[in-house]
């Protein structure tokens, strides 16, 4: 009989996890406030919906580049990396609140703010296995992922309300305050992990991280599984034209909320499954994330499509399993570099998927494009799932751990940490 899954209570019982989870909440609030505030600022000055949407899209571009900086989490204490990037974001956002700041300057500052998110996320994720044993690690990952998805659901409305009530400068100052508070919580609420910077690789890089991933079978297949999101993220990118196809803007909020709501539900359900079983069903869940989207092309009515997209979100919660296994499979001293590779690859996959879908939607109906993307996603996910199953079932070679679901002895459960 497999051991029971760790409980949410056991994860929240650890002070370090609670502090980082609260810092995560502050980060989500800060990100949404900055995005909404800049969008409003651009629209107020240009009266152009096109420029406003372009400004919002700009906030996601640095995430791709930020992943390449994940190696700094291996060169310095991961706590130091998180604190410094939080302080840097607080200062930059405070500068954005200066009255009369030119729009190009505001956009450049926001670009730098988002660029710092990459090292922060890599350091946070790299610290997780140092704080959580493998069973509680996946539950902690589920809490963090569900919190992020829930933040997406309510973030736009809450951000817009704050900007409307306080104005753009006031909202930005609150945003800066969230990052400053996060920095204080992390600095005085966490120990140093690792205690000192490693001496054997002074110049970690994205290329070095790619080499590490290429040499490890588990990391290679897990990265491909993670990049399958480039297929089932397509509905998010085509939600606006699909809403128009269904008959109006009233459908848009339901379409946008479907995947995040499903992800929250899926995270809660999957966290109750024992770790050994999670690993066994990872490939099947990856396939299902795209498979349930295939009927979108001939589905009739908003309700049917929302149900399909929500189910895709439920299955896509397998991402928490992928992240956990990826972190456990990565060498401890180079974990930041390896995670940086994953961040960059994920953003590239999402950007490529949405961009390709947008081009196809110029020729075909948006719902048809989603069906095509989902069909391709099923094929890639099947290949990735088979490769992963073979990797965990084989114990040959130095890259494979004795524990097929992770190095059970490779963590020090001295506390807990949210990613």
The answer on 109 and 55 residing in a single domain is yes
Segment 150-171, tens digit of pLDDT: 776 666 567 667 777 777 788 8
Q: At what angle do helices 49-58 and 15-46 cross, to 10 degrees?
A: 150
The answer on 277 and 187 residing in a single domain is no
The answer on 210 and 281 residing in a single domain is yes
Regarding predicted confidence, which is higher, 365 or 408? Answer: 365
Regarding predicted confidence, which is higher, 37 or 102? Answer: 102
Query: Model-level pTM?
Result: 0.74
The answer on 191 and 209 residing in a single domain is no
Q: Which of 64-68, 302-306, 415-419 has the lowest mean pLDDT?
A: 415-419
CA distances from 243 to 252, 253, 254, 305 (A): 5, 9, 9, 10
The answer on 176 and 240 residing in a single domain is no
State the pLDDT at residue 244: 81
Segment 164-210, tens digit of pLDDT: 777 778 888 888 998 999 999 999 888 776 655 554 445 556 677 78
Given 150, 168, 195, which residue is the final one in a domain?
A: 195
Q: How far apart are the first and last CA of the chain?
A: 30
Mean pLDDT of 393-404: 49
CATH number of the CATH domain containing 232:
1.20.1250.20
Answer yes or no: is 2 within a domain: no
**For residue 119, what are the domain limits?**
13-195
Segment 35-84, tens digit of pLDDT: 667 767 776 676 655 455 455 555 556 666 666 676 777 778 888 889 99
> CA-to-CA distance for 369 and 282, rounded, in angstroms?
26
The answer on 216 and 346 residing in a single domain is yes
């Amino acid at each position: 009989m497999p051991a029971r899954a760790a409980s949410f209570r056991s994860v929240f019982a650890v002070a370090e996890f609670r502090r980082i989870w609260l810092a995560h909440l502050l980060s989500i609030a800060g990100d949404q406030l900055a995005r909404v505030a800049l969008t409003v600022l651009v629209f107020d000055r240009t009266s152009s919906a096109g420029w406003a949407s372009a400004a919002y899209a700009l906030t996601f571009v640095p995430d791709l580049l930020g992943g390449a900086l994940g190696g700094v989490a291996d060169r310095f204490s991961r706590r130091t990396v998180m604190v410094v990037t939080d302080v840097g974001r607080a200062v930059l956002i405070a500068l954005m609140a200066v009255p009369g700041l030119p729009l190009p300057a505001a956009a450049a500052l926001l670009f730098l703010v988002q660029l710092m998110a990459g090292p922060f996320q890599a350091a946070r994720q790299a610290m997780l296995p140092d704080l959580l044993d493998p069973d509680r690690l996946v539950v902690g990952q589920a809490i963090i992922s569900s919190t992020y998805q829930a933040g997406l659901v309510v973030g736009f409305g809450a951000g817009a309300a704050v900007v409307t009530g306080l104005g753009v400068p006031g909202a930005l100052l609150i945003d800066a305050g969230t990052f400053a508070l996060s920095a204080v919580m992390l600095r005085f609420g966490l120990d140093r992990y690792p205690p000192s910077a490693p001496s054997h690789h002074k110049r970690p890089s994205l290329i070095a991280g790619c080499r590490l991933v290429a040499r490890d079978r588990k990391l290679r297949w897990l990265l491909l599984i993670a990049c399958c999101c480039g297929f089932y993220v397509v509905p998010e990118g085509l939600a606006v034209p699909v809403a128009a196809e269904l008959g109006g803007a009233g459908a848009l909020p339901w379409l946008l909320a479907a995947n995040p709501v499903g992800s929250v539900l899926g995270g809660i359900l999957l966290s109750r499954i024992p770790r050994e079983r999670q690993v066994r069903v990872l490939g099947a869940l990856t396939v299902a994330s795209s498979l349930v989207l295939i009927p979108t092309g001939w589905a009739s009515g908003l309700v049917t499509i929302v149900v399909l997209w929500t189910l895709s979100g439920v299955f896509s919660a397998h991402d928490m399993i992928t992240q956990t296994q990826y972190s456990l499979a990565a060498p401890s001293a180079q974990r930041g570099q390896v995670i940086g590779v994953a961040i960059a690859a994920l953003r590239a996959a999402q950007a490529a998927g949405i961009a390709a879908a947008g081009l196809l939607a110029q020729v075909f109906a948006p719902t048809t494009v989603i069906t095509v993307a989902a069909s391709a996603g099923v094929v890639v996910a099947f290949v990735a799932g088979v490769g992963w199953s073979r990797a965990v079932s084989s114990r040959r070679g130095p890259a494979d751990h004795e524990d097929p679901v992770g190095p059970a002895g490779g963590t020090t459960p001295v506390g807990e940490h949210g990613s």
